Chain A
Amino acid sequence: MMEESSENNKSLTERKISRRLLLGGAATAAVVLVQTSVGKMVQAAVPQSLVPGLLTDSSSLKAPDSVPPDPTKIPGRGPSVSGMPSSFENPERLPSLTSSRTPLQDLYGTITPSALHFERHHGGIPVIDPQQYELVIHGMVDRPLVFRLADLKRFPSVTRTCFIECSGNFRSGKQEMTPQEICGLTSQSEWTGVMLSTIFREVGVREKATWFLAEGGDAAVMTRSIPVSKGWDDAMIVYAQNGEAIRPEQGYPARLLLPGWEGNTSVKWLRRIELSDAPFMTREETSKYTETVKDGKIRQFSFVMDARSIITFPSFPVQLEKGWIEIRGIAWTGRGKIVKVEVSVNGGRSWAPAELQGPVLDKAHTAFRYLWNWTGAETEIMSRAVDETGYVQPSYQELCAARDSKGGYHFNPITRWRVQRSGKVVLGEGA
């Protein structure tokens, strides 16, 4: 390329700026000093979204790019250090005071874009300097040790794709609810880190240790007691999410990851692990994350997420037309693999198996598809998941009867969508 050969001595960023200024391109809200890969400090134009502190309303960055009359007649925007979705696309989380929900209905495949991974915080998101970060492991161990982030990254690494789900991931109550509002507190990432068992061997966890306390470095200094057996099984300490450093909202610089278990147990911003021989009875496993069940009992240490599925298309607020429709959704279980997803298009009278997107992974969101020819009659469509233990996702009524409760943690009922004659899709009765 002519430009590269004539400007060999300039950094890529410097070359790019003049092109950006000439051609306009995406809205550049600020010019900041950045360091290039060769250590030079240069001025770089960055889109508003990458400037910390300026962004209070995500919709403000969505000024759509102006479309030229004919894009083939004018050179387009050049390369950049970091990309964004098209300004015509705006999938967003739905935030509340303590959480935000993934827009399940707007996504494709099974990986949740990192920016849209759900959140649930008990003391907000801490800012942690990765150079200062330390993880202390002590208690019933041969060698209490302190690891910096660099130390964790030196251990042999492992990558796996799995979901995280909040055990309070169930809302109902209105006809007009999106999958995001019903169960948007679940997302899936590809996680990279070190097996906790490797760390357990490093510190020499003693035989008599049966539980460990996981403590986070957030303002809640949040704690959970975890059985040591899970630590030796598939527990991980992860520092990377979808190919890059784990996001602050998901626990930067490192978090505990317990595949298939309720999200609260995957303690973010992990700062301490203490090995012991009994649970610590923290607030998050007594006052919270427990649920009333039959005979006036309160169920504790309900770690595993039961199998669940939801049709994400068509769902509210889609407007359907008669004809062929690909019913789509995701299914998942904390007890291994989904073996089957069945779909009903006649209000539950009959069921047929949907196609599962391979490879079907352990403790991971699994996409399913079902082709349906809608003739225009009013009906209800729904999906139910079956996992490798033989567990079948229950209806809301079945779940209420089994728990003697109308809601609470670990509610994973079948979601019914009512397709009206007009083509409008709303949440059906009986959740």
Chain B
Amino acid sequence: MNKQTLINRYSILLLVFVVGVIALVFTVFKRTNAPHPERFGFGRAARADEIRVLDIDVRPDGRGLPAGTGSVEPGRLIYNSKCIACHGDGEKTESPLPGEALFVNDPVKSATKHPAENAVVHKSSPQNGQSSKVKTGAAQTDRMPKTIGTYWPYATTIFDYVRRAMPYNAPGSLTNQEVYHLTAYLLYRNRIISAHTVINEKSLPGIVMPAKEKYVEDDREGGTELK
């Protein structure tokens, strides 16, 4: 064979080899990466009517609030019959109530010596370097009983939570009308609205709660700074 034919043959062989390698790599690559669809087609479409039944949340801008009004006096009647047994009537009690105090008649009297809500705190002593005196504004927040008036940032949360979860033994049994009245009563007992105010789906989101300005978003990031 002459030199040119030899080169031609080797070129063809090389070409066939390269194409073969590419084909092999391609099939291997495809096999190890099994197809994974963007969507699987599982589940079924949610109907508007079934979403409506479940979509019971009330947002701070008022979305989700049914049309309606609430007044303090009817709210008082409902509270005294359905809520007072667990939540009390604003007075400090000897033993803790099953539900929490939603309002207090005398905030100073009801303030606790030890502010921690979830920790049983031992008495401070000179050895561990803690002072029992509280001086800062933070400690004031810490010590005040956490009621709707002192701690909740949004009035709409009252409607949302009472409607879905209360009374504890019969959650979801209150009508929207009852929830509106109760919301008005609770706002009144927390000195946020007057006894004659009538709330509705437009005014409730507009109520500015005293605690709202205290709320800050978590800025912990780990690392060396302790926050």
Contact = CB atoms under 8 A, between A and B. Distances in A.
Interface string B157-185: 10011001100100110000000000000
Contact of B211 (A136, A215, A298, A407): A298
Contacts of B172: 221
A154 B221 contact: no
A164 interface: no
Given A281-B154, A287-B151, A287-B157, A407 B118 contact: yes
A295 B136 contact: yes
A300 B45 contact: no
Nearest to B98: A97
Interface residues of B, number: 67
Contacts of A390: 222-224
A220 B165 contact: yes
A144 B217 contact: no
B141 interface: yes
Contacts of B38: 201
Nearest to A392: B224
A297 B215 contact: yes
A172 B164 CA distance: 34
B51 A144 contact: yes
A274 B129 contact: no
Interface in A285-307: 286-287, 290, 292-304, 306-307
B212 to A, nearest CB: 9
Contact of B56 (A154, A221, A403): A221
Instruction: Describe A's contact surface by its main secondary structure.
Output: loop
Interface centre among B43, B54, B211 (most CB of A within 10 A): B43
Contacts of B146: 287
Given A137-B46, A283-B160, A173 B122 contact: yes
A287 B56 CA distance: 19
B220 interface: yes
Contacts of B154: 281, 286
A219 B129 contact: no
A394 interface: yes
A151 B42 contact: yes
Contacts of B45: 143-146
B164 A221 contact: yes
Interface in A154-170: 154-156, 168, 170
Contacts of B211: 298
B54 to A, nearest CB: 5
Nearest to B135: A404
A147 interface: yes
Contact of B55 (A138, A292, A304, A387): A138
Given A282-B157, A302-B218, A387-B222, A154 B42 contact: yes
A278 interface: yes
Interface stretch (B4-12, B21-29, B66-74, B109-117): B109-117
A404 B138 contact: yes
B127 A391 contact: no
A172 B119 CA distance: 6
A271 interface: yes
B113 to A, nearest CB: 10
Interface in B23-45: 36, 38-40, 42-45
B223 A389 contact: yes
Contact of A409 (B39, B46, B118): B118
A80 B217 CA distance: 53
Contacts of A219: 165, 168, 171
B80 interface: no
B220 A304 contact: yes
A296 B140 contact: yes
A272 to B, nearest CB: 5
Contact of A292 (B121, B138, B221): B138
Contact of A201 (B39, B60, B168, B222): B39
A228 to B, nearest CB: 16
Given A296-B138, A390-B224, A407 B121 contact: yes
B128 to A, nearest CB: 4
A295 B56 contact: no
B51 A136 contact: yes
Nearest to B209: A286
A213 B220 CA distance: 23
15 contacts: A123-B165, A145-B43, A146-B50, A173-B120, A219-B168, A274-B55, A280-B57, A282-B157, A287-B146, A287-B157, A296-B138, A297-B214, A298-B215, A390-B223, A399-B226
Q: Which 3 A-B pairs give the minimum distances between C-beta atoms?
A: A407-B116, A407-B119, A389-B222
